[in-house]
Structure 1
Amino acid sequence: MPEKSAKRLPGRPKQGDTDTTIYQTIISAASALFKEYGYESVSLQQIGNRCGVSKQAIYYHFASKPELFKVAMTTMLQNIRTVTAQLLDAADDLEQGLVRMAEARLANPHAEIETMMREAEPFLEAEQIRAIREAEQHIHELLADHFRLGMNQRLLREDDPMFLAETFSTLMLMGNRENASQKYESPLILGRKLVALFLQGTKAT
């Protein structure tokens, strides 16, 4: 006689592709709200309303709001790293790759990690903070690898590649300024100006 399937817990979504879709939808909604309003102002009810699921469904996938914040942040940072790698690897040279990366980042302003982290850290566990910081560090390491290659090719002067990576990432925050889209004709034009400024200060002599 076939075994009976386990009884589904209250609020637990059905298994299968829909379950994965709900998980991803929650992360997407949470990321958007955290970036727009910060950590404290966003409730699980707001996230549920944004993506059309109940708080019970959110709690099925995520143990707490801090855990959802960690997953949302690390997912966002992993996506940034993936796109950054694709753009840099597909470019003919370092300058072209940086311009393409700058255009993509400036066209989609990203939240300032430090601002969100300062607000959220009192509510996060050490492991959650570490996971977010590691995901951010992976982006800087990727950039540093390309800057190190530029130094080996004598395109850039000898310097700390991680410092250059962090500096370039800071330049990308120009896209978050309220008048950035009005002051410059396009993200591409602003990206070219920033990359030219960056390379002018780092080129080999």
Structure 2
Amino acid sequence: MSTPSKRPLGRPVQQQDGLPTSRHILQTASRLFMAKGFEAVSMNEVADQCGVTKATIYYYYPNKTELFVASIAATLSEVNGRIAEVLAQSGSFQDRLIRITENYLKIPQVHVNGMFAQVKRHLTDEQLQTLIRHENDLYETLKEGFAAAMREGEITAGDPLLAAHFYVSMLRAGERQYDQANKLFPSEREAAAAIVAFLWRGIHV
């Protein structure tokens, strides 16, 4: 008679809120990485914030680098989906850009490019390409938004992909609002309106 196989150490049950444990781990880890950067986050902290054991984290992700790549890729994919949803809504392109910008600024974060530079030495080529692919997907979604606005005659921009990159670069100014000693804007809404207004002067017909 065969002996029943044992469940792997750390294998978790589903969270009480119905969210799969693996998804809960990714969301928590992404929030920590985006707020603190790669080096400052430990697997212990992720486990504590998730309310699970460290063995549970290791069941899904064998090391911090794997967790980082999976969590940031998932976040970029989610952000991309939300941007696509807003772009598909009715209203002017300017209003939709303001909504996208405000949503982005509501999440205190270290800038993705800076974080990638910090963690790059820990990544394999395949892991780095995974993150680059997800980031490029986001730019492609924004590019399509700018291109559609051009076709509708709302804006004039010679290269919609370049416009998307300029827009994302301008979002960094809004992040300064989280430096309490040097606020540029009193609120995310005012920051979003100011950033898009500045961009609009360069692309509006």
What TM-score comes out, normalization by structure 1 length? Answer: 0.87
Q: Residues 161 and 42 of structure 1: is their aligned pair in 2 closer, same or farther, counting only changes over 3 Å?
A: same
What is residue 48 of structure 2 aligned with on the other side?
A: 49
Which residues of 2 match residues 54-203 of structure 1 at below 5 A?
54-177=53-176, 178-179=179-180, 182-203=183-204
Is the Cα contact below 8 Å between 1:109 and 1:175 reproduced in 2?
no
Distance 1:104 1:186 in 2: 12
Q: Residues 192 and 180 of structure 1: is their aligned pair in 2 closer, same or farther, counting only changes over 3 Å?
A: farther
**Structure 1 stretches of 5 or more lacking a match?**
none
Q: Deviation string for 1:80-131 (max 9, x for gaps)?
A: 1111111121131211111111121122234311111111111111111111
Give 1:203's aligned amino acid: H
Distance 1:39 1:62 in 2: 15
What is residue 34 of structure 2 aligned with on the other side?
A: 35
Is the Cα contact below 8 Å between 2:36 and 2:110 reproduced in 1?
no
- The answer to which of 60-69 and 19-28 deviates more is 19-28
3-state secondary structure, aligned to 2:168: helix
Q: Deviation string for 1:46-72 (max 9, x for gaps)?
A: 211221222211111112211110011
- The answer to which of 162-171 and 150-159 deviates more is 150-159
Is the Cα contact below 8 Å between 1:103 and 1:188 reproduced in 2?
yes
Q: Deviation string for 1:125-149 (max 9, x for gaps)?
A: 1111111111111111111001111
Compute the RMSD of aligned alpha carbons.
2.4
State the number of aligned residues. Answer: 202
- The answer to which of 3-12 and 57-66 deviates more is 3-12
Q: Residues 46 and 25 of structure 1: is their aligned pair in 2 closer, same or farther, counting only changes over 3 Å?
A: same
State the identity %.
26
**Structure 2 stretches of 5 or more lacking a match?**
none
